[in-house]
C-alpha cells in the first residue's frame, strides 16, 4: 500500500492534471442546451426542382447499400441526380445500383479512375463524382453507402442551409446498433467526440474546432469549386473534418447539425469491427495541429479515461482510513466527472435507433461509461498510427 505522503502527492497531481481540464469540458458541454434543435423532415417547394446532386462513394458495399439506395430514391424532385462512384467493387455492388437505376432514372453508376498518388479512396471518389455532376445543381450532397436516408432529408438540409445561410453543413446521424458489444463500446467512442468538440447544432465554433460528418456532407457547388473540390482533403483519412475546417478558414460558414430524425446509419458489425474501423479515424489527427491533438488527448485522459479507475482506487484508500483534504478532493472531483458522464447518456440517447422492437442488448448502452478507458485508449493508439488499409484498400506508409 502507498504511504500517506506518496498518496497525498498523487492526489495533488491528479487535482492539477484533471482539475485544469474540467473548465474546458464544462465550457463545451454548457453550450449544448442552446443548440439548434434536430432537423425535422421537410417537403420541398417547386423552386427547389433539380437543386441537388448526390454522390455516393462505394467499394464492396453490396451487403448494406440497399437501404441507402431506397432512402435516396424516396427523396423528392429537389434531387437532380444520384451519382454512385464505385471503386471497382467485386461483390455485386454495381449490380444493386443498376437495379435501382431501372426503377429511378436519377441513379447513375460510374467507376473512378485508378487512385492517384497522395489520394485516399473516399475523397477521390467524391471528387470524381463532383467533377462529373451537373453544373446546373447548386448543391452537392455526399452520402455514405452505410446510411439510411429518411424521407425529407434533402429538403431539410436545404431549409437549414437557407435559414442559417450555411455554405457547408453536415449532419450527425441516428446510429443503428445490434450486438451487445456495440451497445457497450460505441457510445463511449462517440463520447470522445462530444468531450472534444461542441454538440451538433451549436453555432459558429472556431475554425479549428469545426466538426463534420462525411456520411451526410452538404456543400454549395460554388464553394466546392472555389475550394478545388475535395483536393484539399486528398490525403486525409478524416476528409470530412479536414475539408470542413479548410472551408471555415477560407471564410465560409460551416454548420454541424443534429440529423437524428432524417438520417440513420449502420456502420459496423460488432464491437471488434467498431474498435478497428471507427476507432482509427476518431483521433482526427489529419485535420488537427500537433498541439491541438496533444491537447485533446490530455483532455480525454483527464476527464474520460481516468475517472473510473481513479475513483475506484481512491475510494478503497478512503475505506482503509486514509483521510486528508487532497485525497477527498481528488475523490470528489472524479465522482463529479463520472456523474457528468452518466448524465450525458440522457443527452445522447436520441442518437440511437431503438425501433419498434428494441434490441435485447440495448440496456448495455447505460453501462457504456464503463467502456470509457478502452475508448480513450483507442484514441491514443490511433493518434500514433497511420492507417495502412481502409475499406479494403491497402495504403503504403509513403502515400
Q: pLDDT band at 3, cuts 50/70/90?
A: confident
Residue % of the chain over a pLDDT of 70: 96
Residue 388 has pLDDT above 70, yes or no: no
DSSP 8-state code for residue 364: G
Could you list the beta-strand ranges (E) of the chain: 52-58, 79-86, 107-111, 139-143, 147-149, 168-172, 174-175, 216-220, 254-258, 263-265, 389-390, 393-394
Confidence at residue 389, expressed as pLDDT on a 0 to 100 scale: 66
Residues 282 and 267: their CA atoms lie apart, in Å, by 14
Confidence at residue 11, expressed as pLDDT on a 0 to 100 scale: 94
* pLDDT, tens digit, 9 for 90 and up, residues 73-114: 999 999 999 999 999 999 999 999 999 999 999 999 999 999
pTM of the model: 0.94
Residue 325 has pLDDT above 70, yes or no: yes
Mean of all residue pLDDT scores within the chain: 93
- Contacts of residue 332, defined as CB under 8 A and 6 or more positions apart, other chains included, come to none
Residue % of the chain over a pLDDT of 90: 84
Q: pLDDT band at 395, cuts 50/70/90?
A: low
Q: Residue 257: which H helix or E strand, with range?
A: strand 254-258
* pLDDT, tens digit, 9 for 90 and up, residues 10-63: 999 999 999 999 999 999 999 888 899 999 999 999 999 999 999 999 999 999
Residue with more model confidence, 356 or 276: 276
* pLDDT, tens digit, 9 for 90 and up, residues 250-302: 999 999 999 999 999 999 999 999 999 898 889 999 999 999 999 999 999 99
Confidence at residue 293, expressed as pLDDT on a 0 to 100 scale: 95
Confidence at residue 391, expressed as pLDDT on a 0 to 100 scale: 64
Residues 142 and 382: their CA atoms lie apart, in Å, by 25
Order across the sheet with 263-265: list the strands: 147-149, 263-265, 174-175
Name all domains of the chain by residue range, CATH numbers in brackets. 4-32+291-386 (no CATH), 35-180+198-269 (3.90.550.10)
Segment 132-151 shows an average pLDDT of 97
Confidence at residue 378, expressed as pLDDT on a 0 to 100 scale: 96
Residues 192 and 380: their CA atoms lie apart, in Å, by 11
Segment 116-137 shows an average pLDDT of 96
Residues 216 and 240: their CA atoms lie apart, in Å, by 9
Amino acid at each position: 500500500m502507498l504511504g500517506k505522503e506518496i498518496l497525498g502527492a498523487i492526489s495533488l497531481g491528479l487535482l492539477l492534471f484533471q482539475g485544469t481540464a474540467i473548465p474546458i469540458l464544462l465550457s463545451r458541454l454548457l453550450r449544448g442546451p442552446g443548440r439548434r434543435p434536430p432537423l425535422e423532415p421537410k417537403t420541398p417547394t417547386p423552386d427547389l426542382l433539380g437543386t441537388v446532386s448526390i454522390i455516393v462513394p462505394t467499394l464492396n458495399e453490396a451487403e448494406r447499400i440497399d437501404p441507402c439506395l431506397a432512402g435516396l430514391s424516396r427523396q423528392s424532385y429537389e434531387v437532380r441526380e444520384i451519382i454512385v462512384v464505385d471503386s471497382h467493387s467485386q461483390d455485386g455492388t454495381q449490380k444493386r445500383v443498376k437495379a435501382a437505376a431501372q426503377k429511378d432514372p436519377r441513379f447513375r453508376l460510374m467507376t473512378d479512375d485508378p487512385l492517384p498518388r497522395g489520394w485516399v479512396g473516399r475523397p477521390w471518389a467524391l471528387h470524381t463524382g463532383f467533377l462529373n455532376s451537373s453544373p446546373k445543381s447548386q448543391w452537392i450532397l455526399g452520402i455514405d453507402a452505410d446510411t439510411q436516408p429518411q424521407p425529407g432529408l434533402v429538403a431539410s438540409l436545404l431549409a437549414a442551409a437557407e435559414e442559417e445561410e450555411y455554405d457547408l453543413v453536415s449532419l450527425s446521424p441516428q446510429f443503428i446498433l445490434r450486438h451487445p458489444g456495440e451497445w457497450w463500446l460505441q457510445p463511449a467512442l462517440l463520447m470522445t467526440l462530444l468531450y472534444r468538440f461542441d454538440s451538433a447544432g451549436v453555432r459558429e465554433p472556431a475554425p479549428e474546432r469545426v466538426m463534420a460528418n462525411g456520411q451526410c456532407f452538404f456543400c454549395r457547388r460554388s464553394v466546392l469549386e472555389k475550394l478545388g473540390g475535395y483536393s484539399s482533403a486528398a490525403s486525409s483519412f478524416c476528409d470530412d473534418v479536414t475539408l470542413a475546417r479548410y472551408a471555415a478558414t477560407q471564410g465560409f460558414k460551416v454548420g454541424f447539425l443534429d440529423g437524428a430524425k432524417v438520417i440513420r446509419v449502420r456502420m459496423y458489425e460488432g464491437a471488434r469491427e467498431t474498435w478497428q474501423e471507427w476507432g482509427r479515424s476518431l483521433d482526427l489527427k489529419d485535420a488537427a495541429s500537433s498541439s491541438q491533438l496533444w491537447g485533446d488527448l490530455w483532455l480525454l485522459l483527464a476527464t474520460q479515461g481516468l475517472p473510473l479507475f481513479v475513483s475506484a482506487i481512491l475510494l478503497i484508500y478512503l475505506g482503509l482510513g486514509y483521510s486528508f483534504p487532497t485525497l477527498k478532493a481528488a475523490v470528489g472531483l472524479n465522482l463529479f466527472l463520472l456523474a457528468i458522464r452518466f448524465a450525458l447518456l440522457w443527452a445522447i440517447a436520441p442518437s440511437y435507433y431503438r425501433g419498434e422492437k428494441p434490441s435485447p442488448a440495448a440496456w448495455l448502452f447505460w453501462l457504456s461509461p464503463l467502456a470509457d478507458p478502452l475508448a480513450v485508449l483507442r484514441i491514443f493508439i490511433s493518434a500514433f498510427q497511420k492507417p495502412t488499409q481502409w475499406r479494403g484498400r491497402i495504403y503504403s506508409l509513403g502515400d
